[in-house]
Structure 1
Amino acid sequence: MPHTLAYIPTPAPATPFAVGETVEVLDREHVVLSVQTIKKVTRKKVKTDCGREWMLDGEWFDGESSYPFPSIRRKA
């Protein structure tokens, strides 16, 4: 069975993330991988309690570049 190598872009949040907010970590098809809490917010990035850093639009940041997945979004 053929697989597509596309991903679903995560829309940027309407308002900035805040410390203490609960977010979902998503894979490229928006399947929830885990639930995390925002521990730190800076001008350009946020950090979750798992230790990962994310750009303000929700993309994962590895210290050098950002990637569209995994991504984060507010938990409903």
Structure 2
Amino acid sequence: MIETAIQKAIAEQFGLGDAPVNLDAPLSEYDADSLDLVELVMTIEDELKIEIPDDAFDAVTLGTKPTELTGRKLVEIAAKFKG
């Protein structure tokens, strides 16, 4: 579910349509800039129905791979449910 939501968010953010999303490619491969990263995080939040604190994504850069986002998401969600 998380990987699918991230793939959908990336496809939406970068206008990929039905083209496959390579979760092992850095975000820079999609000609992303810092604004794109912010919008991508917002889209992922909407897709997963969660709120991600700004400081949780301080380490996200254009060199970040979507698979790394997936890992961060799992940690973030797990932390929320531990409460």
Q: Which has the higher helix share?
A: 2
Which has the bigger relative contact order, CA under 8 A and spacing at least 6?
Answer: 2
The TM-score with structure 1 as length reference comes to 0.29
Q: Which has the higher strand share?
A: 1
The TM-score with structure 2 as length reference comes to 0.28
